[in-house]
Each structure stands twice: as C-alpha cells, then as structure tokens.
A = this chain, B = another copy of it.
Amino acid sequence: MKLVSPGEAAANTNEIPVEAGEEFVRIGEMAKKYGVTLRTLRFYEDKGLLNPHRDGSTRLYTRRDKARLKLILLGRKVGFSLRDVKQMMDLYDPTGTNTRQLRLALDKSEKQLARLQKQRALIDDAIGELSNSMSVVRQMLVERTAAPQASAAG
C-alpha cells in the first residue's frame, strides 16, 4: 500500500502502514490540493485546528483532516477568524446531535453577516467619497490644463 498518488509523480513514496483503505497524504500534497502553504498547515495544527496522524515525525493527513481543512477555508472565506473556527469545531461531538455546535455556528454567522453588511456599507460609502474626490480632481486638472489664458472652456 502506498500514499495516494496524484497523477503520476509520487516522489518520495515511503512505505506507510495503511489500514482499512485509509488514504494518507503528506503535507506537501495536502498543501497543493487545497492551495495552501506548508506553513499554513503547520500553523493550523499549532492552533489546534488540525490533528494529522504521524508516522514518526511525518504528518499524515486523512480525509477527516481534509474535511476539517475545507471547513477552515470556508470559515476564513466568509471572514471568520481562526479562533472562531476553532471554537465552533471544538464543539463537534460525533456521538451527539451537535445542537450546541450548530447553534453557536448560527449565532456567530449572524454576527458575521451583520459585520459583512456593515463592511459593505462602509465600502460603498468609501466608493462614493472616492468617486466624488476623483471628479473634483479631474475638474481641477481640466482647469489647469485646458486654456490657461482663456476663461471660456467650451
């Protein structure tokens, strides 16, 4: 049994004890697959967001880790901090209904949604102000460029 081989180039394919069809991926592949850096994966682990298995000191990621990573990336995409993501993930309990987890997620989501809407309002505001300033500047440029001695400009 080997590591999952992406395409053809499975360099450095070490013999790893794999049980029950579990597919292990090392950090390099994991990083490529999800478009993150090695540093990021180690960082997430350091923050308690990921918990890959180990073969000696080598990290081995399973599809559980992949699922978690997907969640993390989704969380970040919608603007949650890693702390928020961790807080929500930490409530996951495979034996229960995860009602609490879901409620927390919903709660945080509502707040985040509000933040996002506020941000959008701010940005719209900024766009407005900026557009104004730009037309003012354009006007000033026109006055300085066109017909410096004549006052009739059209």
Contacts and interface: CB of A to CB of B under 8 A. Distances in A.
B133 A102 contact: no
A15 interface: no
Interface stretch (A27-35, A51-59, A134-142): A134-142
A120 interface: yes
Contacts of A106: 134, 137-138, 141
- The A interface is mostly helix, strand or loop, or mixed, namely helix
Contacts of A102: 137, 140-141, 144
Contacts of A99: 141, 144-145
Contact of A124 (B113, B120, B127, B138): B120
Interface of A: 74, 77-79, 97-99, 102-103, 105-106, 109-110, 112-113, 116-117, 119-120, 123-127, 129-131, 133-134, 137-138, 140-141, 144-145
Given A116-B126, A120-B123, 7 more contacts: A77-B125, A79-B130, A98-B144, A105-B133, A106-B134, A119-B123, A120-B127
